[in-house]
Amino acid sequence: MNFCRCSTVDDLRTTAHTPKMMLWAVFALTFALAGLPLMAQDGSQLPGTPVASSITELSNSSLTTDSSLPGSDATSKDQSAPTQPICGITHLGRCLEDLGSDEKGVFTSPFRARPKDSYWLMPFGAATGLAFAYDAEAAKTLGVDQNRTDIADSITNFGSYYATGAESAGVYFLGLARKDPKLAETGRLSAEAILASGTVTLVVKMAANRQRPLQGNRQGDYWADGTSHWEFDSSFPSDHATASMALARVFAGEYPHWYVAVPAYGFAESVGISRILANQHFPSDVLVGQAIGFLTGGYVLHHHALYCCGRENKLSTKIMSTIDPIADPRTHAVGVSMEIPLGR
DSSP secondary structure of 115-176: GGGHHHHHHHHHHHHHHHHHHHHHHHHH---HHHHHHHHHHHGGGSHHHHHHHHHHHHHHHH
Rounded-to-integer distance, Cα 98 and Cα 185, Å: 13
Residue 344: inside a domain, yes or no?
no
Evaluated on CA atoms 169, 204, 108, 297, the torsion sign reads positive
Residue 200: inside a domain, yes or no?
yes
The average pLDDT across 210-232 equals 85
4 three-state secondary structure: strand
Contact predicate 275/286, CB 8 Å: yes
pLDDT at 77: 36
pLDDT in tens, 273-289: 999 999 999 999 999 99
Mean pLDDT of the chain: 74
Which of the two residues, 143 and 4, has the higher pLDDT score?
143
pLDDT at 67: 36
pLDDT in tens, 319-331: 555 555 555 556 6
pLDDT surpasses 80 at 82: no
Q: Return the axis-axis angle of helices 20-34 and 181-208, rounded to nearest 10°.
A: 160
Total residues found in the chain within this entry: 344
pLDDT surpasses 50 at 196: yes
Running DSSP on this structure, what letter comes out for residue 306? S
pLDDT surpasses 50 at 167: yes
pLDDT surpasses 70 at 338: no
pLDDT at 7: 39
Rounded-to-integer distance, Cα 132 and Cα 116, Å: 25
Which of the two residues, 37 and 322, has the higher pLDDT score?
322
Q: Give the lowest-confidence range in 84-98, 235-249, 320-334.
A: 320-334
Rounded-to-integer distance, Cα 258 and Cα 252, Å: 8
Residue 293: inside a domain, yes or no?
yes
Number of domains in the chain: 1
Per-residue confidence band for 56, with pLDDT thresholds at 50, 70 and 90:
very low
The average pLDDT across 177-204 equals 94
Contact predicate 109/40, CB 8 Å: yes
Q: Give the lowest-confidence range in 37-51, 83-97, 142-156, 227-241.
A: 37-51
pLDDT surpasses 50 at 134: yes
Per-residue confidence band for 187, with pLDDT thresholds at 50, 70 and 90:
very high
pLDDT surpasses 70 at 42: no
Residue 75: inside a domain, yes or no?
yes
The average pLDDT across 17-32 equals 43
Rounded-to-integer distance, Cα 294 and Cα 65, Å: 13
Per-residue confidence band for 310, with pLDDT thresholds at 50, 70 and 90:
low
The average pLDDT across 7-29 equals 40
pTM over 0.85: no
pLDDT at 76: 35
E-assigned strand segments in 14-87: 57-59, 62-64
pLDDT surpasses 50 at 305: yes
Radius of gyration of the chain measured on its C-alpha atoms:
20
pLDDT at 244: 96
CA 113 distance to own-chain centroid: 19
Domain that holds residue 17: 2-339
pLDDT at 69: 32
Beta pairing class for 57-59 and 7-8: unpaired
Contacting residues for 170 by C-beta, under 8 A, at least 6 apart = 187
